[in-house]
């Protein structure tokens, strides 16, 4: 299988509610999302415009979570976090 943009496994993200093309990985919340979704090759994704949460194939290109990338400032080291995050 080639990595062409026309293949269904690499179709770009598009929100089913507002039609936005900006999607972010969402944190896995429940046991089902942590252990069953990966068996079906799915991941939770949140729309960047309307914040609707949905499940998409892991092959769908989306951005990393905002909270993970918003703390990174170019030229400065990332702060050490002592928080326990689930």
Domain regions of the chain by residue span:
8-69
pLDDT of residue 65: 80
Query: What three-state secondary structure class fits 44?
Result: strand
Q: Which two tokens stand for residue 80?
A: 């050490």
Q: pTM of the predicted model, to two decimals?
A: 0.62
Q: Residues 14-60: pLDDT tens digits?
A: 999 898 899 999 999 999 999 999 999 999 999 989 999 999 999 98
56, with CB counted inside 10 A (0-12, 13-18, 19+), is buried
Residue 78 pLDDT class (50, 70, 90 cuts):
low
Beta-strand relationship, 53-57 and 23-25: unpaired
């Amino acid at each position: 299988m080639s990595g062409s943009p026309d293949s269904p496994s690499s179709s770009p993200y598009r929100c089913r509610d507002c039609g936005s093309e900006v999607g972010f990985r969402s944190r896995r919340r429940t046991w089902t999302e942590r252990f069953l979704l990966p068996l079906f090759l799915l991941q939770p994704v949140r729309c960047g415009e309307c914040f609707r949460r949905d499940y998409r194939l892991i092959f769908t290109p989306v951005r990393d979570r905002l909270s993970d990338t918003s703390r990174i400032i170019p030229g400065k080291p990332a702060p050490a976090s002592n928080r326990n995050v689930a």
